[in-house]
Structure 1
Amino acid sequence: MNLIKFVVLRLGSYSPMLNPIEGCWNSLKAKMRRFMTEKKNESMVRGEYDTYTAHHLALL
């Protein structure tokens, strides 16, 4: 019977400063937050505008 020996490699402590993909993810998350905030504000303004014009048109 052949025995296969596995060697367990221990990783060092995690450091996001040494991992270049972390900077990419942080940049992407920041852009998505700005985009979502802009879209949320835009939809709120449009919703209020639609309500406002519908109300005023009803008065005419």
Structure 2
Amino acid sequence: MRIRPEEVSVTDSASAVNTFEAVARSTPYHGRDFTVQAELPDGAALSVRTPVRPETGTC
């Protein structure tokens, strides 16, 4: 499955729907957004674009 990075939101809300857990490994700033390189629990890589910088090690 492929999801465009700008279609994914970073949240810490337990009440959000359609969510999954991931760990942010890298959060470089690219102009107006951060490109988050994250890792899913099964080890799969995920790239997310977000205006808010999550702390590395969380997501």
Greater RCO between the two (CA within 8 Å, min separation 6)?
2
Quick check: TM above 0.5? no
Bigger Cα Rg: 1
The structure with the greater share of residues assigned to strand is 2
TM-score, length basis structure 1:
0.15
The structure with the greater share of residues assigned to helix is 1
